[in-house]
Amino acid sequence: MHHTDSGMFDVAYEPLAGASGTEDERAEEGRGWWKPAGQSHLAPPSGQTSGAASPTGSGAVGRSRQTSPRSSKKAVKAAGAPRESRARRASWLVLTRAAVKTFFVSDKRGVIQKFKLGVPIRDMRLLDPNLLTSETGKVLVRDNAIVFSMEHARLIITADCVIIPQSGFDHSPLAQHFSTLLEEHITEAAQEAQARDFAAGQAAERIQDAVELDDVSDDSSGFRHEVMPLPFELQMLEVALGAVCALCSQLVKELEAVAHPALDALTKHVTTGNLERVRKVKTRHQRLWTRVVTVREELQRFLEDDDDMMKMCLTRKKLLEHANASVGLTSAPSFANNARRSGSMSLGSLPRFSGWPPATPASPRGPAGAPAGDGGGAGDNDSEESIEAVENLLESYFMQIDASYDRLVSIGEYIKDTEEYINIELDSSRNRLIRLEIIITSATFGVAMFSLVAGILGENLVLPARITKGVHSFWLINIVTFSLCLVFFMGLMLYIRWRRLM
């Protein structure tokens, strides 16, 4: 395989070693499928047309063109198929558990067929970069893969590799950072695996020497139960969930830093600017609330379903299938040697992961020669431990997202309390204005009596001489009228208070 070293990762130019088919078939498919890293498009080899990469391309059409006129018409209609197929293709990044980094170009259906994912084509729409974050938040567990689509983390997890879409996410810093994070984690995991294999080999040699010398200590049995990391698919799931939970936590912190000052300012002064700030905070809170609740509900759904958690154990399922396929075909030593040569471990020597039991191959008869179905206790125990390992993983990140959810709830309650306080302040101001309006209306009604007397005396009538004789009568009439107006106003206010209208 032609490749260039880039740290622990290798940029491969050919399909993965686990791809199906013969070497010639993989090389033929590699000319139309895979491309080196950094290459923007696929260039066909010399002497090969672009239609040779697809059985329905222009090359196949050219061969059928010589058969009949009807087939030539079909060839004309199919001439545009390669261009349309190329338009639907996207670039993908593959990271294997052996720390091999590979880029290739294909459509979604081709990815499913190439890696034998067993994923319906409709599930691949979750990897569409045009899909809004509010429409994602899904983890779909299928036969041979896990489709993870939450926030910026969108990938396909298998038992041997991770497939990450690249088209449409080139200008997303979060997506690029997530890809880098996966690469670093896989690199560290591969280095740790090499160190464990080296230590395991030395320990096996020491045990073998001790057995030959009949000096086996009690500590030698600890090697069989060595605590190992989680399987590859659960490690990748852990990285993806960690990135999503970290992003949600960061967004909640930023929202808290903006929300509290805006709400405090609105509490002190109700102005247009403060109202606009609170409106933006409320809109931002509602959107973030939807995203966090979506992730939380998805994790809660898996925690409540043991079957889905069991389906996440892709490595265990793969080992069981290999074990069942090898039962009756090869002996145990030959199976172990073949598994060791292929880079995998036999089920009998499979080390115990942290909370992850070794897969037990299905046997036609139970323990002590009992028929199948009477001795399924070991398999049930393995299944329970496997479910427990997945449950512990999901529960830890559910607690993190639940903490972000609780903080959003507190922010929402703070926003609601501030709104209620502002409404109370506005109601109080409205009540004060109503009181002032009542007082002014009552005063106006009281002064109306003075206007009535002035209108009567201002008529062109013959007044008694006693009134028009001197100035003292003028002052007397005004003072009496004003006193009556004041008494009427005070009586009206006392009546309003007695009726508790103010």
- Predicted confidence (pLDDT) per residue in 21-47, tens digit: 444 444 444 444 444 444 433 334 344
- Predicted confidence (pLDDT) per residue in 307-319, tens digit: 989 999 998 888 8
> Does residue 13 belong to any structural domain of this protein?
no
Number of domains in the chain: 1
| Helix-, strand-, coil-residue percentages of the chain, each rounded to 5 | 65, 10, 25
Band (213; pLDDT cuts 50, 70, 90): low
Task: Quote the pLDDT of residue 349.
Answer: 39
Average pLDDT value for residue range 328-355 = 44
For tokens 């996440």, the residue is 312
Average pLDDT value for residue range 85-91 = 69
Token code pair at residue 46: 């010399």
> Does residue 468 belong to any structural domain of this protein?
yes
| Rounded Cα distance, 316 and 322, in Å | 10
> Does residue 159 belong to any structural domain of this protein?
no
Q: Is the pLDDT of residue 192 over 70?
A: yes
219 versus 236: the higher-pLDDT residue is 236
pTM of the model: 0.65
Average pLDDT value for residue range 76-102 = 71
Which strand (E) or helix (H) includes residue 323?
helix 314-326
Q: Spell out where 231-362 has E strands.
A: none
Which residues span the domain enclosing 464? 441-498
Q: What mean pLDDT value characterizes the chain?
A: 74
- How many residues comprise the chain? 502
Q: Is 379 exposed, middle or buried (0-12, 13-18, 19+ CB in 10 A)?
A: middle
> Does residue 493 belong to any structural domain of this protein?
yes
Band (235; pLDDT cuts 50, 70, 90): very high
Backbone angles phi, psi at 365, to 5 degrees: -130, 150
Task: Quote the pLDDT of residue 459.
Answer: 65
Task: Quote the pLDDT of residue 11.
Answer: 46
> Does residue 433 belong to any structural domain of this protein?
no
Task: Quote the pLDDT of residue 228.
Answer: 65
Task: Quote the pLDDT of residue 208.
Answer: 75
Q: Is the pLDDT of residue 239 over 90?
A: yes
> Does residue 456 belong to any structural domain of this protein?
yes
Collect all residues with Cβ–Cβ distance below 8 Å to 225 and sequence separation of at least 6. 352
> Does residue 494 belong to any structural domain of this protein?
yes
Most confident option among 169-178, 477-486, 489-498: 169-178
Query: Does residue 210 contact residue 216 with C-beta atoms inside 8 Å?
Result: yes
For the stretch 475-484, contacts whose Cβ atoms lie closer than 8 Å and that sit 24 or more positions apart, written own/partner, are: 477/453, 481/449, 481/450, 481/453, 481/454, 482/450, 484/449
Average pLDDT value for residue range 335-346 = 42
491 versus 379: the higher-pLDDT residue is 491
Average pLDDT value for residue range 231-244 = 93
Q: What percent of the chain has pLDDT over 70?
A: 64
Query: Does residue 64 contact residue 71 with C-beta atoms inside 8 Å?
Result: yes
For tokens 């066909």, the residue is 44
| Rounded Cα distance, 117 and 127, in Å | 15
Band (17; pLDDT cuts 50, 70, 90): very low
Q: Is the pLDDT of residue 280 over 90?
A: yes
> Does residue 454 belong to any structural domain of this protein?
yes
| Rounded Cα distance, 385 and 377, in Å | 12
Please, which residues bridge with residue 103 across strands?
A: 93
